A and B are shown apart, each in its own frame.
Chain A
Amino acid sequence: MNVPSEHLLVLAAGLFAIGVLGFLIRRNVIIVLMCIELMLNAANLTFLAASRQHSTAQVVNLDGAVFSIFVILVAACEAAVGLALIIALFRLKQTVESDALSEMKG
């Protein structure tokens, strides 16, 4: 079965939209962090789709895969830092609601 690249892109766009939407409307910072992961993975999927698109029967293009591995690496770091921040936030405010963070209000 040969899945066309468009399908992959549509799936990625859908995942990204869900991530953005969740990022914007959810208040729980853990969920927001998860939404960011979702967006990153949507991006990974796009990379892989593009990479596949540029491969021929003879030459397999691995650029997208390499990028994806980098993104996964960064995402792991980001999750570690993000969760640490959330713990620090919880210690400070006894909540993980993002609305509690408004000290920077102009």
Chain B
Amino acid sequence: MSGTWLLWFIPLLPLFGAAACGLIHFATLAARKKDPSASGPSALAPLVACGAMLGALGLSIAAFKQLAGLEVEHRVIESAVWPWIHVGSLHLDISMVVDPLSAVMLLVVTGIGFLIHVYSAGYMKGDPGYAKFFAYLNLFVFSMLMLVLSSSLIGLFVGWEGVGLCSYLLIGFWYEKGWPAEAGQKAFIFNRVGDASFLIGSFILIKLFGTLDLSDVNAAVAGVAADPSKAWWLTVAALCLFGGCTGKSAQIPLFTWLPDAMAGPTPVSALIHAATMVTAGVYLVVRLNPVFAFDPMVLTVIGTIGAFTALIGGTSAIFQRDIKKVLAYSTVSQLGYMFLGLGSGAFAAAIFHLVTHAFFKGLLFLGAGSVIHGMHDEQDMHKMGGLRRHMPKTFVTFLAGAAALSGLPLLSGYFSKDEILAHTFAHGGFYYVLWGIGLFTAAVTAFYTWRMVALTFFGKERFDHHHVHPHESPVVMWAPLAVLAVLSVFGGLLGLPPVFHVVHQLEHWLAPVTEPGRALLEAHGGVHELSHAVEWALLGLGAVIALVFAHLGFRRYVKGTESDDNVQRTQPALADFLVGAWKIDAQYYAKIVYPSKLVAFVTAVIVDQFAIDGLVNGAGGLATATGDRLKLMVDGSLKTYALWIGAGAVLLALLWMFV
């Protein structure tokens, strides 16, 4: 096929954009050296960055169209292959591959990425690192596109590390404040733990199959069944790769970095920590679905971890006062849903939820950013209230996002979440427990979402009118909100449930990718169909729960913050437990961070300063002391020297004679 080299330009355009923005940043710094108030050429940066994103989006849409025009069995476009590492029997090639799954991810990453770039042009205006921000943001998109498009696991890993690096850079963007830098380090270290696991999983795959090419690995899984020892290793590899996902996608036990990552600018939270990077784990599992579906035990582990992450994230969001913390824990919780879907073997449903979540959570984060922007960097919802009168556009779009997140009927989040829960329910057995947890979390989600809406936009105005004058955000900020709001409302059309007697667009589209995993599941008897009656019942149950708890959350908090204060007074331990995310982070501090710091202190003071420095200084001291004694022999008298020479000669002679 002609022109497939154009695929390389999808990731390369943002990379060039990042380089250009970096140069603009240095030019700005040079201009500022002469005149501290100069903004230099930094106003060019958003144009360059958004232009690069628009180009990537255009190419992505073109690739998508070309893909859709192909026969279903041949829906793969591969770019020119770049031979990368050829060592011994190991051959690693890199190419860009678009198949139905990566096409969906491409559109999400470039589409939402473009909107968030536009939004950032308004949000970050006036920041001293304006151009630097766009350089990082474009670099992130490059890494994410590498992750999504790479044909091999090692290319995917390059993107995987790249997004981790950009996440670190952007969380710590305002590093001079101190705590964002620490949050960035925390995110980076937590991700490293996961990445180590990811690498071990990759090594096992090399050992098993001698290749990291994703389609080769997927094809080779079928041949493993005959060999029990290989099957065992494949299970270990799948668990190790999932360990990588728990780091990147903020699942138990590595999820505690995500709430802290809110230290970054809000567009970063929307792009990296809601819409794209954190969903990389979901993408990986679907991409390698035969590897994960090979052993039903692995899927059960994934589902269990997902369900409990959803529960912990959801409950932790209930009493947060920081609007971004609510959204952060909500993201943890929604990612848990995606993994619950994967664990139930519902790969398409997980991707469906990934897409709708990217719409409505991106929208909510950007809306929260608009609120924070309008409130002069206030993030405490207890100091907001009544903002619907001041920010009507933000308010309306935020409502759409909140309705989708809480799963109000007929909105995007309703369909995607209920599809996951329906698949979990259909699985039966132990999955009934997970389904129960999921349903409970859905109730919690509706509650905290509408608490957030009520506290922010309704009730009395609790801010200080003398200092804070809330204002609507400029058009570059609310226009992306409007687009995302439309997507959040109508995104559900991508995957209507079977009871509506229409084709599930996304599932149909992804079928070529998920087919091998589904075939393996079918072999284990892991594919279940629900009768229409049960499906109607589940849909109805989901709708009722969402409506009831949304109403509860809204009514309790529409008057003000009394309900929070009541809980703080009557149940301080419970509130503390939930606000502290079940105290898991505190446990990490007590059990891992403090012992590590103690070891570091002992190493620094006793081993390094005392023992090692002692040895080094001791060697020097010994030489000095020896010199001090020996210099007495040099008394300046020629005769003494001669005597020593003679004594030496005699000694040598004696040695020669007798030894």
Contacts and interface: CB of A to CB of B under 8 A. Distances in A.
A80 B218 CA distance: 92
Nearest to B634: A106
Contacts of A99: 637
Contacts of B634: 104-106
A105 B635 contact: yes
Interface in A64-106: 98-99, 101-106
Interface in B209-227: none
A101 B636 contact: yes
B642 A102 contact: no
Interface residues of A, number: 13
A103 B636 contact: yes
A105 B631 CA distance: 8
Contacts of B643: 24
A102 B636 contact: yes
A20 B642 CA distance: 9
A50 B149 CA distance: 92
Contacts of A103: 636
B6 interface: no
Contact of A23 (B632, B635, B637, B642): B642
B394 to A, nearest CB: 84
A23 B644 CA distance: 13
Nearest to A36: B642
A28 to B, nearest CB: 12
Nearest to A23: B642
A98 B639 contact: yes
Interface residues of B, number: 13
Contacts of A102: 635-637
A24 to B, nearest CB: 6
Nearest to A26: B639
A102 to B, nearest CB: 3
B646 A104 contact: no
Contacts, number: 30
B636 A104 contact: yes
B642 A105 contact: no
A24 B638 CA distance: 9
A23 B643 CA distance: 9
A106 B646 contact: no
Nearest to A98: B638
B639 A106 contact: no
Nearest to A102: B636
A102 B638 CA distance: 8
B639 A24 contact: yes
B638 A20 contact: no
B633 interface: yes
A99 B636 CA distance: 8
A101 B638 CA distance: 7
B636 to A, nearest CB: 3
A78 to B, nearest CB: 15
Contact of B636 (A20, A24, A105): A105
A16 B546 CA distance: 116
Contacts of A25: 639
A20 B650 CA distance: 12
Contact of B633 (A20, A23, A106): A106
Interface string A3-37: 00000000000000000100111000000100000
Contacts of B632: 106
Contacts of A20: 646
B642 A24 contact: yes
Nearest to B646: A20
Interface in B79-137: none
Nearest to A105: B636
A103 B635 CA distance: 9
Contact of B635 (A32, A98, A106): A106
Contacts of B635: 102, 105-106
A32 B634 CA distance: 20
Interface string B546-585: 0000000000000000000000000000000000000000
Interface string B635-656: 1111100110010000000000
A99 B646 CA distance: 19
B154 to A, nearest CB: 65
Nearest to B633: A106
A106 B642 contact: no
A101 B634 CA distance: 12
B484 to A, nearest CB: 84
A29 B642 CA distance: 13
Q: Which of B635, B638, B646 has the most CB of A within 10 A?
A: B638
B305 to A, nearest CB: 75
Given A23-B642, A106-B632, A106-B636, 12 more contacts: A24-B639, A24-B643, A32-B638, A98-B637, A98-B638, A98-B639, A101-B638, A103-B636, A105-B636, A106-B630, A106-B634, A106-B635
27 contacts: A20-B646, A23-B642, A24-B639, A24-B643, A24-B646, A25-B639, A32-B638, A98-B637, A98-B638, A98-B639, A99-B637, A101-B636, A101-B638, A102-B635, A102-B636, A102-B637, A103-B636, A104-B634, A104-B636, A105-B634, A105-B635, A105-B636, A106-B630, A106-B631, A106-B634, A106-B635, A106-B636
Q: Which 3 interchain pairs have the tightest Cβ spacing?
A: A105-B636, A102-B636, A106-B631
